Amino acid sequence: MELFIALSLIALLFIILGSSLWIGLSLLGVAVFAMDVFTQRPAGDAMALTVWGSTSSWTLTALPLFLWMGEILFRSKLAEGLFAGLAPWLNKVPGRLLHTNVIGCGIFAAVSGSSAATCATIGKITLPELKKRGYPDDIAIGTLAGSGTLGLLIPPSIIMIVYGVAANVSIAKLFIAGVVPGILLGLLFSGYIVYWALRNASQIPAADRGMSFLQKVAAGKNLIPVVLLIVIVLGSIYSGVATATEAAALGVAGSLILSAIERTLTWNSFKAGLIAACRVYCMIGLILAGAAFLTLAMGFIGLPRQVAELIGSLNLSPFGLILLLTVFFVLLGCFLDGISMVVLTMAVLLPTVEKAGFDLIWFGIYIVLVVEMAQITPPVGFNLFVLQGLTKRQLPYLAKTALPCFFIMCAAVLLVYAFPQLVLWLPQNMQ
């Protein structure tokens, strides 16, 4: 019976998505169908409460603020400054400015804690510049989709907080445990760019003229405004002065001040940036609302819990368990957001995980990695939706460009499984 229900919902979702209905409305439609047909709970009241709850949380207010920050930077000279400062240093690296996707997402991930905010903000800055300079769209969009997921892994991370509460482990240790895997994943993405560039050298624009070391340092002054803004936002979070949402507000204020100093802030640019940020956030917010209601419907039906209980009853070897859980979470991530995946399954899976001998700190980082993979897996890959809003490209195209990064994340999962100290060394030695 459960298999029939699952297949019915999957088929219905693909049919509705194929009709070109908005993603958020498609998710809401499937959730309403599931509630009406497979449960006794009235769909209307549940939908109203869930949609309001999922879109009115204080934590979520950081997302539109970071989006607005990105819009302001996009319309100022700071975006050009970022490239002007980085270009001389990346000139001799295969792939050249494509690495700005990885570097930018890695830096911003330490500010936002959100994959969607990281992808949207850095995408607003890098994609137009890369296109203007002649870099191929496929590799630019694909590496941005993958690098944007660093927002979940590099602390602070909202999903780590959720897991820490569910698993009753130290959130501070989870944060510190994410540092090395986050750097590792960024290096793997950059390694892929180098590999791609060496195999497709003709598609990479010609290098800029050579510069001496002092000239590179002089060009680096263009990075000062961006670095200053990052220090303000990061410093306010790690010093305990501000929460992520308050830091996002500081980032917006800092962006406005820097834009005013550069004389790129006009009433028209202010208004255009605010409207654009609202549009992108409304798209993401509707998807979040639809995913939250679909999560509720599936929770009432009991599908995630039943599948998790089935996995626990198989008595697999540690590697077999991780392999099966990876497939399970990637498939589950096709239809649920990452936080919902954690909330719905941890209570059932954690006893099995502990019995298999896995450290719960390590397992938390593993969960974040597989949730990252789900961020670029259709049909409910949030980073793909963000990129769809930014690029106006179709979902199948975006998923295809992100596929290499999906396999890179699979390799990262294998690496942290084979070498668990990549995750555990820092928290074990933290004073």
User: Looking at 224, 257, 279, which one is the last position of a domain?
Assistant: 279
The residue from 225, 246, 279 where one domain ends is 279
Q: How confident is the model at residue 79, as a pLDDT?
A: 59
Q: Sign of the C-alpha dihedral, residues 188, 190, 191, 196?
A: positive
- Looking at the structure, tell me whether residues 68 and 145 fall in a common domain: yes
3-state class (DSSP) for residue 159 = helix
Is-contact 55 285, C-beta < 8 A?
yes
Give the DSSP letter of residue 95: T
CA distances from 431 to 35, 112, 168, 178 (A): 49, 26, 20, 16
Would you tell me how many other CB atoms lie within 10 Å of the CB of residue 226?
A: 21
Report yes or no: 376 and 145 within 8 Å, Cβ to Cβ: yes
Residue 14 resides in a domain: no
Alpha-carbon Rg for the chain, nearest whole angstrom, is 22
User: Does residue 92 lie within any of the structural domains?
Assistant: yes
pLDDT at 255: 85
255 and 365 co-located in one domain:
no
CB 265 within 8 A of CB 256: yes
Are residues 110 and 232 part of one domain?
yes
User: How far does CA 331 lie from the centroid of its chain?
Assistant: 17
Q: Are residues 338 and 362 in the same domain?
A: yes
Query: CB–CB of 277/386 below 8 Å?
Result: no
Domain count, the chain: 2
How much is the pTM?
0.72
> Do 354 and 252 fall into the same domain?
no
Instruction: Name, in order, each residue with C-beta under 8 angstroms of 19's C-beta and a sequence gap of 6 or more.
Output: none
Q: How many C-beta atoms surround the C-beta of residue 7 within 10 A?
A: 10
Classify burial at 362, counting beta carbons within 10 Å of its beta carbon; exposed 0-12, middle 13-18, buried 19 or more: buried
Cβ contacts of 331 within 8 Å, gap of 6 or more: none
Sequence-separated (6 or more) residues with CB below 8 Å from residue 123: 70, 144, 148, 386, 387, 390
Give the SS3 label for residue 360. helix
List, in order, residues 6 or more apart from 271 with CB less than 8 Å away: none
**Which residue from 297, 295, 287, 304 is spatially nearest to 33, judged by alpha carbons?**
297
DSSP result, 191-253: HHHHHHHHHTGGGSPPPPPP--HHHHHHHGGGGHHHHHHHHHHHHHHHTTSS-HHHHHHHHHH
Contacts for 286 with CB less than 8 Å, ≥ 6 apart: 22, 23, 24, 25
Whether residue 177 is found in the same domain as residue 33: no
Please tell me the predicted confidence (pLDDT) of residue 83: 64
Residue 203's domain comprises 59-279
Helix, strand, coil content of the chain in percent (nearest 5): 80, 0, 20
Last residue of a domain, one of 260, 279, 298: 279
Residue 320 located in a structural domain: yes
Q: How far apart are CA 224 and CA 219, in angstroms?
A: 10
Q: How far is CA 85 from CA 81, 88, 100, 182, 194, in A?
A: 6, 7, 11, 24, 20
* Amino acid identity for residue 268 in this structure: N
The C-alpha atoms of residue 380 and residue 116 are separated, in whole angstroms, by: 13
pLDDT value at position 430?
65
pLDDT of residue 172: 74
Co-location of 149 and 286 in the same domain: no
| pLDDT tens-place values along the chain, 431 residues long | 665 776 677 778 777 766 777 777 887 888 888 888 877 777 777 777 777 876 776 766 777 887 788 778 767 766 566 666 777 777 778 888 888 888 878 877 776 666 777 787 788 778 887 888 888 889 999 999 888 888 788 876 778 877 887 788 877 788 888 889 999 999 999 999 999 999 988 888 776 666 666 777 776 777 777 778 878 876 776 677 877 678 778 888 988 888 888 787 888 888 888 888 888 778 777 877 877 787 778 777 777 667 667 776 777 788 888 998 888 888 877 766 677 677 767 766 787 788 788 899 999 999 999 988 888 877 667 788 788 878 888 888 888 888 999 999 999 999 999 999 999 898 887 65
